[in-house]
Amino acid sequence: MAGRNLIIFGPPGAGKGTQAPRLAAEFGLPHVATGDMFRAHQREGTALGLRAKAYMEAGELVPDTLVIEMLVERIGQADAADGFLLDGFPRTVAQAVALDVELAANGSRIDALLVLDVTEEDVVTRISGRLVCANGHVFHETFSPPAVAAVCDTCGLALARRADDEPDVVRNRYRNVYLAQTAPVRDHYTALGVPALDVDGTGSTDAVYERLRTALQRP
């Protein structure tokens, strides 16, 4: 396995939140998803959740200072001492640099990016049918429907659309945010010699999962 500090990377709707929990469980890593963390803060009504809400609903990035502080606190917890799978972070080069500085202070670094490759059309089709529960379990009306309509198979909570999944917001997240601000994070790590493991993100979720496992197990 290519080290234990991993990032799952790709545009909104690429399947990061679908694949990461399974991958993290198999490889014994905590799944650290900044989008899920912000949504939990919103449900709990914290000051951080309130500050993040308007940015998220518009499909814009939450300011770096807020997300970096939250992330650094999370990876400082005991369960992340031997590695982690980051999902949704870093999303700007400034976030990547802050993460690198934090890891370097502990003699550590990012070991690999797992990059899910999908097209803009895949993104829009997937997100337009996405259903999620409050615990972040992900379904799709057509591609992975729940056994009982609008009920989470895993925890029994109600399923609903996300506020930022409207088509106009999705296109903003893909074009103006992902391509413009997040894609350069990959170049940042390439310049540091960190491998980016490209994985075809199309096909069934099981097929994508097997490709991810294979990429991680490659020497």
Q: Which of residues 58-87 bind ligand AP5 (CB under 6 A)?
A: 59-62, 67
Cβ(112)–Cβ(195) below 8 Å: yes
- Comparing CB distances to ligand AP5, the nearer of 12 and 83 is 12
Would you list the DSSP string of 137-193?
-EEETTTB--SSTTB-TTT-PBPB--TT-SHHHHHIIIIIIIIIIIHHHHHHHHHTT
Unique residue bearing structure tokens 């729940």: 146
**Active-site annotation holder among 39, 74, 126, 173:** 173
Alpha carbon distance 176, 157 (integer Å): 33
Binding of ligand AP5 by 27 (CB under 6 A): no
Q: Which of residues 88-107 bind ligand AP5 (CB under 6 A)?
A: 88-89, 91, 95
The encoded tokens of residue 123 equal 């993104």
Verify whether residue 43 is a known catalytic residue: no
Q: Of residues 13, 21, 30, 83, which one binds ligand AP5 by CB under 6 A?
A: 13
Verify whether residue 53 is a known catalytic residue: no
Q: Positive or negative, the Cα torsion across 188, 193, 194, 199?
A: positive
**Active-site annotation holder among 39, 74, 91, 211:** 91
What is the CA angle 140-50-155, rounded to 5?
A: 35
- Comparing CB distances to ligand AP5, the nearer of 140 and 188 is 140
Number of neighbours of residue 122 by Cβ within 10 angstroms: 17
Verify whether residue 91 is a known catalytic residue: yes
Binding of ligand AP5 by 38 (CB under 6 A): yes
Q: Which of residues 117-176 bind ligand AP5 (CB under 6 A)?
A: 126-127, 129-130, 138-140, 143-144, 164, 173
Binding of ligand AP5 by 21 (CB under 6 A): no
Cα atoms in the 13 Å half-sphere on the side-chain side of 152? 16
CB closest to ligand AP5, residue no? 35
Smallest separation, CB 57 to ligand AP5 (Å): 8
Which of the residues are catalytic? 16, 91, 130, 162, 173
